[in-house]
Every structure is written in C-alpha cells, then in structure tokens.
Amino acid sequence: MEPLAKIFGSPARLKTLRLFLFNQNVGFSAADVATRTKLSPTAVRRELADLTAASLLRKKGERAQARFQINPRFEHLDALDTFVRETTSVRPQDIVAALRRAGTPRLIVLSGLFVGIIEPQVDLLVVGDNLDERPLASAIHSLEAELGREIRYASFTTTDFRYRLGVYDRLLRDVFDYPHRVLVDKIGL
C-alpha cells in the first residue's frame, strides 16, 4: 500500500478522493465511480458515504439517480486539492510494465499531465509493433484509475510513427516541441 493510502485509510479512499478532486465540476453516480476507480460497488458506497458525511462531497438525487460532486464550500478543499495534486504520480516503471502487457513498445513518451502541462493534445504516446488495442486500452484504464484522471493517449506502429515524424505531424510536434519525458526509446530518436 502506498504511503498516501495509509494516511487516508485505504487505497479505495485515495482513488475516490483523486477522482473527485481532479474532476471537481463533474457529478458522478456510484456506478460511474466504481467504473472509473475500478473498485467494488460495496467499497464505493462506503467511501461515498464517508466522504459525504465529512462534507467533502455533496449528494444530489436519491438512490440510483444520486450523483456526487465535490462540495466547493468544504473548508479545507484548497489545501487538500493542492496536497493530492502535488503528491499524485505513477512510477515510470509501473507505466512501462502496464504497457508491456499490450505488446512490444518501442517508444513510450510522457507529456501533458505527466509533466505538468494542463491542456495537452496527448498525455501518453506509445509506439510499437504488434500492439493489441484492447489490452492497451485496459492498461490505460488501470493507470486512469490510479491517477483519478482521464489519460489522452495515442498509439502508432513504428512505420506509421516514422512517417508522421518525417512529415512533421502536428500531434507529434505537440508532444516533442513541449516538455516531455521519454521512458522507452528503442527507435533511436
């Protein structure tokens, strides 16, 4: 269990907090929270009840129609938000391990939310041969559950990537012209 999960009581509490703090203007149903955090419905109901009782979340509607959202009047919201944002990260080796389940990555580049840019085109660029899209999407969803945010990603075959790089593709320029971090480079950029 990571140190923050110990401080906040459980990994479920931390995942739920991240989801709501990183998406403050969005209301989620209990089912949405379970899907986005990859937690059991029972754990989600418990966490939503506790966070609502603490006045961090507010509930609108009843039963299945209920939606939960951050309470903007929560006394310590700014401090909690700053703390969680500054301490939330996924280790690079965890990202690489998750993406290897989808095939053989030849290039993995982090940009956007991983390097502190607020509105990027892409947060994660994956280039590889024989990448299976379904396990890749599953790996990305697992990372999203840990981070509490949606990850915008692009995946290319090596041939397609080289072509796009050669014609100065705008998407690739948006990644490489701004702060980024290369995790795996077997292409030789």
pTM (2 d.p.): 0.73
Q: Which CATH number fits domain 92-185: 1.10.1760, 3.40.50, 3.10.50, 3.30.460?
A: 3.30.460
DSSP letters of 40-100?
-HHHHHHHHHHHHHTTSEEEESSGGG-EEEE-TT-TTHHHHHHHHHHH----HHHHHHHHH
- pLDDT per residue as tens, the chain (189 positions): 466 666 678 888 888 988 888 888 889 999 999 998 889 999 999 999 989 988 899 999 887 788 999 999 988 888 888 888 777 777 888 889 888 988 889 999 998 877 777 677 889 999 998 888 999 999 998 888 888 788 899 999 999 999 999 998 999 998 888 889 999 999 887
Domain ranges of the chain: 3-87, 92-185
How do residues 38-57 score in pLDDT, each as one tens digit?
A: 899 999 999 999 899 888 99
Domain 3-87, CATH = 1.10.10.10
